[in-house]
Amino acid sequence: MRASRPLATLTGIALLGITLAACQDQAGGQITARNGVRLVDTITNPSVHGCHPFSDDVTRVENYTQSSILLYTTPDCTEPPGGSSIYVSMQSSDEAVRSTGLWRSFSIAPE
């Protein structure tokens, strides 16, 4: 038995809606992390939830996602006493300075 066109159209729209809803849990794009000139990590479509530790200390981060991020000097996305996170807007980059220390993790900034 063949499905009617309206039923097929509604099914397609429903599947598209489910796919788009699933994508909202990710920051679409890529984050690259370097220590000097050495590539440390390339993270594609990171989750918007939780903390993302880098595999090594990082001196430069390039945020090519559609979300802003927060960089931390701790591996668990916490701010040490007297310290703070660094905000990096979408489609931009930042470099660590000696006074702040190296970065060890990031999270997606609340919108």
Confidence of residue 11 (pLDDT cuts 50, 70, 90): low
Each residue of 25-84: pLDDT tens digit?
Answer: 888 999 999 999 999 999 999 999 999 999 999 999 999 999 999 999 999 999 988 888
Q: What angle do CA 107, 21, 11 make, to 5 degrees?
A: 165
Dig out the tokens for 26 from the structure: 């990710």
Q: What is the CATH number of domain 26-108?
A: 2.60.20
What's residue 92's pLDDT?
83
CA atoms lying within 13 Å on the CB side of residue 110: 0
Model pLDDT, residue 26: 86
Q: Would you kindly state where each structural domain of the chain is located, as residue ranges?
A: 26-108
Q: What are residue 41's phi and psi, to 5 degrees?
A: -145, 150
